[in-house]
């Protein structure tokens, strides 16, 4: 027993003589103390931290009971209202005030011997047949009606004040108040009186508030891009309206000036005619007409004498 104790004591002595023993011991004790302090602080600060986090969420208006909206739904990408395999193409484009004259001419719709600017795009199949009309965005159906000029109409409301408008439809499959996902079938393409020369077709519009925008400019673009373009579109339309009013005013003022010039010229000629007497009138004055008669009378009396 004494031998075992002496052996163990000699091992400890040899261990204490090692240069690394005491530094390692100090590091181990320091690590234990630091761990204990951190654990104690985290345990005592949990209620205070929880209260602080709750106040932050309350100030931001976050309600934990509400379901989180997926990012894809918050900024959905605008899609064409026809399937890729439908082989339907755009036959009438949106009337863009910044486009060239040829493009603007192709964006006019003839009805009742008058031309109207297209506020959307028209799709038609190459074979003239019907095709499915799809929802370009997820949203709520706000209107389903039969219009005398535009045929059956479906209107949908989306986030950020964006609405989509589908006209010239047949076999409508949705109703007012229905929630529709992007790509769902709304109806099939039909005909309308307003664009009867297009035969079977779809008229599609995208509106940002009350402003119609070019749908083709926003296909495969996030909905947020529509908000950025709204101000620019309204500015262009106002500028075009001002230009049109200015042209009408100039055309109205031009004939008035011509008529004024035409009325002034005869008046001046009349004044000239009054100021300049006619020489023939002077030769034929009444006094000169009476003088030859007096001379003739005196000559005859002398002859009788």
Residues 158-183 have pLDDT tens digits of: 988 899 999 999 999 999 999 999 99
Q: What is the pTM of this model?
A: 0.55
* Distance in angstroms (rounded) separating the CA atoms of residues 105 and 95: 8
Q: Is 69 exposed, middle or buried (0-12, 13-18, 19+ CB in 10 A)?
A: exposed
Please give the DSSP secondary-structure letter assigned to residue 109: E
Query: 3-class SS at 228?
Result: helix
Span 68-88, mean pLDDT? Answer: 76
- Please give the Cα distance from 96 to 105 (Å, whole number): 10
Distance (Å, rounded) from C-alpha 213 to C-alpha 224?
13
pLDDT in tens, 33-77: 888 888 887 766 555 666 666 666 566 555 555 555 444 445 789
∠ Cα 139 145 150 (to 5°):
105
The tens digit of pLDDT for each residue in 240-290 reads 677 777 777 777 776 655 555 555 555 444 455 444 444 444 444 444 444
The domain ranges of the chain are 2-57, 84-240
Q: Which of 182, 183, 132, 184 lies closest to 159, judged by CA?
A: 182
Q: 24 is written with which tokens?
A: 């390692």
pLDDT for res 196: 87
Cα–Cα distance for residue pair 305/301, rounded to 1 Å: 6
Q: Which fold has domain 84-240?
A: Glucose Permease (Domain IIA) (2.70.70)
Per-residue pLDDT, 215? 94
């Amino acid at each position: 027993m004494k031998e075992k104790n002496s052996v163990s004591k000699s091992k400890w002595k040899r261990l204490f003589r090692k240069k690394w023993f005491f530094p390692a011991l100090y590091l181990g004790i320091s690590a234990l103390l630091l761990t204990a302090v951190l654990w104690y602080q985290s345990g005592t600060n949990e209620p205070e931290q929880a209260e602080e986090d709750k106040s932050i969420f309350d100030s931001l208006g976050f309600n934990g009971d509400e379901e989180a909206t997926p990012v894809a739904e918050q900024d959905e990408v605008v899609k064409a209202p026809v399937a890729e395999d439908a082989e339907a193409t755009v036959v009438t484009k949106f009337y863009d005030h910044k486009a060239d004259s040829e493009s603007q001419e192709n964006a006019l719709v003839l009805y009742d011997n008058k031309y109207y600017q297209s506020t959307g795009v028209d799709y038609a199949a190459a074979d003239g047949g019907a095709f499915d009309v799809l929802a370009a965005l997820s949203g709520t159906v706000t209107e389903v009606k039969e219009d005398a000029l535009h045929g059956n109409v479906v209107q949908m409301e989306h986030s950020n004040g964006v609405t989509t408008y589908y006209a010239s439809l047949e076999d409508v499959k949705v109703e007012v108040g229905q929630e529709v996902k992007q790509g769902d079938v709304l109806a099939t393409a039909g005909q309308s009186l307003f664009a009867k020369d297009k035969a079977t077709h779809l008229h599609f519009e995208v509106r940002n508030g009350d402003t119609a925008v070019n749908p083709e400019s926003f296909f495969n673009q996030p909905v947020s891009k529509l908000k950025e373009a709204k101000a620019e579109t309204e500015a262009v339309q106002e500028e075009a309206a001002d230009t049109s009013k200015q042209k009408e005013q100039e055309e109205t003022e031009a004939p008035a000036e011509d008529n004024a010039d035409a009325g002034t010229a005869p008046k001046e000629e009349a004044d000239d005619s009054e100021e300049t007497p006619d020489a023939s009138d002077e030769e034929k004055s009444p006094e000169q007409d009476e003088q030859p008669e007096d001379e003739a009378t005196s000559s005859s009396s002398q002859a009788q004498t």
